[in-house]
Chain A
């Protein structure tokens, strides 16, 4: 681990951010998450960044390690897992906060994302897992959609056999991630993929409830190639066995 600087202060929220080869895009990503952090701080919510650089290229390394948003409380972990799930688990294991939000290295969130999630979890209980209300995909594909709240009538458990209701970035109490770690998705070697889809199933099986943080949005960058999601689709990956499908 490379600590930006040693800190023993416990934050309210750990923003777990995974980078590998985002290059200069990492700069904008960190600026946008810093924007979320500052917004949360105005409501008295402290936020630490727990960053993993997984076999990062030189440019990503340069951009992230020298980023102006980094503070003393933030941590950077240099790892070589070659796997997003393992990176997230690693970062969560090193996080010290009550709440954890997972962020991809090339996406943006609305300013209110962290603040709104903390407010909802404090008010509604830590059994909930929160997702943005709206996703805007941009880049190689431009589209937007509303996500599904598990308590709404649109939610059909059986639909999870063929569709993933919620994509990767989620916000929840840290104990949720500890109880349900992400599972490795080495699609080329093992044929399993969509770790977020699997995590969604596992968390439901463990009794957690996926809710929407209304008035929040995630801007999800869609690449023409090189995306994990596209790789999983092209390989016809399937999600690992899950207790969820034993309970249907």
Chain B
């Protein structure tokens, strides 16, 4: 059926459509494309009617229902040039092999998208940050911290680009000084290579002094393909916090996929913990000097100063995304082991209901669903906050629990030892007995609750104050001093032939 449709289209195109004006062709072929998509959704069709318009012409290239032939005057010229280069002789093999090349000269959709996005950026920018989206999540919170601090405290003109076709409800948390542009929806539908073309062109034309990749796949692809060109115009940073692990336990994620080939392009990789980057250095041989640890600031809490919950309480709090990483199955086993305790579980599930059936079926587990504010979750009878992630960077939620005055029982994974002494951590997230023992210790010894919270708060005061974050961010982004601002601006390489050197790759 599809073949007949395609043959009929080509027949009508050659006979009729290709003789029309480009404007009319675009309109009619656009309609045909819509029908084709509706009729053959499984077929991979061109994306834009512009790709269906050929520069055939009918003047001197033969009838339009056949592929154009080489004009006679060109053949005559080849005959004459054969005196110089016999391979051009029109009776030679060349002519038999020369075919008409039809390029999609009228396909301008990526250019149109670029123009729309470029026009949506209202003012000059110093720093562009690429995120997939801005919604609930630790990485998103990190992006908000970085963008807002750069704009509000360090006087930078910041643009945040959301590159996935998804909502960004947290965009409202950006400072009014930060420009935000959601580009994923507009890019959706064009070829992946052209999506990179649009982003790279935006960056090259905007000429920020810094481009910071914060978990945007498109941005990583842009660095992988055109990082060398980009770094002629701007410094490239990336934020990476931890690996993900696939079902077979293999480490995956942006660090594994992109660091080996992209690290020479990067000025620095910003991370939130002292442990994970060492794994990357050991396992991928990326240079140690690449990494800069930036502890994110702790949140404020209405409970600040006091101890929340109670050692005599009969409840425990768990909050987070219900997915494979956070190991709700481990939580279910802990809850099974402590049937006299109520487990308040908050957070949206990205799993099917069947995947958390164990948890759902336990009588002492209350699944409360999505939450907005951690402070609202803490109750007077909570003994502790339970964290069961199998892998992580430095989870913000632990700082929220500490700020709220709730002791934390967490595994020794990722950057958690940066925040809680290893001796106070459960050996691994699989160690259900370890969790149970830690809970019993807190219940038996109320002063342990207080000292645990005090230790975490001391860590916050020492390393995670907002002032320290601002200073550290300023230092690692090598932001211009006042003197620089008055003098030289960001590097601009005009590149007129022979006038300026290039910035080589590092590493």
Residues of A in contact with B (beta carbons under 8 Å apart): 28, 31-32, 35, 81, 83, 85-86, 88-90, 108, 110-111, 134, 136-138, 142-146, 148, 153-163, 165, 181-184, 186, 189-192, 195, 215, 217, 219, 236-238, 240-242, 245-246, 248
Is B198 an interface residue when CB atoms closer than 8 A count as contact? yes
Contact A162–B497 (Cβ < 8 Å): no
* Distance (whole angstroms) from the CB of A240 to the closest CB of chain B: 5
Q: Give a binary string over B221-256; 1 marks a CB under 8 Å from any A CB, 0 the rest.
A: 000011111111100000000000000000000000
Q: Give a binary string over B466-507; 1 marks a CB under 8 Å from any A CB, 0 the rest.
A: 000000000000000000000000000111111100111000
Query: Would A154 and B73 be within 8 Å (CB), given that A31-B84, A144-B100, A162-B110 are in contact?
Result: no
Which of chain B's residues has its CB closest to A135's CB?
B101
Q: List A contacts of B137 (CB < 8 A).
A: none
Docked CA distance A108–B288 (Å): 54
Q: List B contacts of A32 (CB < 8 A).
A: 81, 84-85
Query: Would A159 and B74 be within 8 Å (CB), given that A85-B497, A145-B101, A148-B55 are in contact?
Result: no
Contact B226–A161 (Cβ < 8 Å): no
Q: Give a binary string over B100-117; 1 marks a CB under 8 Å from any A CB, 0 the rest.
A: 111111111111101100
Q: Give a binary string over B163-203; 1 marks a CB under 8 Å from any A CB, 0 the rest.
A: 00000000000000000000000000000001001101100
Docked CA distance A57–B200 (Å): 37
Contact B115–A158 (Cβ < 8 Å): yes
Which of chain A's residues has its CB closest to B53's CB?
A154
Docked CA distance A159–B109 (Å): 7
Is B8 an interface residue when CB atoms closer than 8 A count as contact? no
Which of chain A's residues has its CB closest to B24's CB?
A153
Contact B107–A162 (Cβ < 8 Å): yes
- Can you give 12 contacting A-B residue pairs, CB < 8 Å? A81-B497, A85-B497, A90-B498, A134-B71, A144-B70, A145-B55, A159-B107, A161-B108, A191-B229, A191-B232, A215-B73, A219-B88
Q: Give a binary string over B200-228; 1 marks a CB under 8 Å from any A CB, 0 the rest.
A: 11001101000000000000000001111
Query: Would A159 and B108 be within 8 Å (CB), given that A184-B497, A191-B228 are in contact?
Result: yes
Contact B198–A138 (Cβ < 8 Å): no
Docked CA distance A134–B97 (Å): 17
Contact of A160 among B98, B111, B194, B503 (CB under 8 A): B111
Q: List A contacts of B110 (CB < 8 A).
A: 158, 161-162
Contact of A240 among B85, B101, B495 (CB under 8 A): B495
Contact B98–A148 (Cβ < 8 Å): no
Contact A159–B114 (Cβ < 8 Å): no
Query: Would A153 and B226 be within 8 Å (CB), given that A110-B77, A138-B88, A144-B98 are in contact?
Result: no
Is B57 an interface residue when CB atoms closer than 8 A count as contact? yes
Docked CA distance A148–B107 (Å): 13
Docked CA distance A88–B496 (Å): 12
Is B50 an interface residue when CB atoms closer than 8 A count as contact? yes
* Distance (whole angstroms) from the CB of B414 to the closest CB of chain A: 34
Contact A154–B498 (Cβ < 8 Å): no
Docked CA distance A32–B101 (Å): 25
Q: List B contacts of A162 (CB < 8 A).
A: 107, 110-111, 194, 197
Q: List A contacts of B496 (CB < 8 A).
A: 89, 181, 183-184
| 8 shortest interchain CB distances as A-B pairs | A158-B111, A191-B228, A191-B229, A158-B108, A190-B502, A161-B111, A156-B108, A85-B497
Q: A144-B70, A154-B53 are in contact. List 8 more A-B contacts (CB 8 A).
A: A28-B85, A86-B498, A145-B102, A158-B109, A159-B105, A190-B493, A191-B231, A238-B226
Docked CA distance A143–B85 (Å): 18
Is B87 an interface residue when CB atoms closer than 8 A count as contact? yes
Contact of A192 among B53, B73, B105, B229 (CB under 8 A): B229
* Distance (whole angstroms) from the CB of B148 to the closest CB of chain A: 29
Q: List A contacts of B105 (CB < 8 A).
A: 148, 154-156, 159, 163, 165
Q: List A contacts of B97 (CB < 8 A).
A: 142
Contact A156–B100 (Cβ < 8 Å): no
Contact B74–A144 (Cβ < 8 Å): yes
Q: List B contacts of A83 (CB < 8 A).
A: 497-498
Contact B111–A111 (Cβ < 8 Å): no
Contact B497–A182 (Cβ < 8 Å): yes
Q: List B contacts of A35 (CB < 8 A).
A: 81, 84
Contact B74–A217 (Cβ < 8 Å): yes
Q: List A contacts of B85 (CB < 8 A).
A: 28, 32, 108
Query: Would A108 and B497 be within 8 Å (CB), given that A158-B111, A238-B229 are in contact?
Result: no
Contact A161–B114 (Cβ < 8 Å): yes
Contact of A238 among B50, B74, B200 (CB under 8 A): B200
* Distance (whole angstroms) from the CB of A182 to the closest CB of chain B: 5
Is B462 an interface residue when CB atoms closer than 8 A count as contact? no
Which of chain A's residues has its CB closest to B98's CB?
A142
Docked CA distance A183–B495 (Å): 6
Contact B22–A154 (Cβ < 8 Å): yes
Docked CA distance A163–B96 (Å): 28
Q: List A contacts of B279 (CB < 8 A).
A: none
Contact B497–A248 (Cβ < 8 Å): no
Contact B205–A245 (Cβ < 8 Å): yes
Q: List A contacts of B447 (CB < 8 A).
A: none
Contact B77–A217 (Cβ < 8 Å): yes
Contact A189–B107 (Cβ < 8 Å): no
Contact of B118 among A81, A111, A238, A245 (CB under 8 A): A245
Q: List A contacts of B230 (CB < 8 A).
A: 191
Docked CA distance A160–B207 (Å): 19
Query: Would A186 and B502 be within 8 Å (CB), given that A144-B101, A156-B111 are in contact?
Result: yes
Contact A161–B201 (Cβ < 8 Å): yes
Is B99 an interface residue when CB atoms closer than 8 A count as contact? yes
Interface residues of B in 92-149 (CB under 8 A from A): 94, 97-112, 114-115, 118
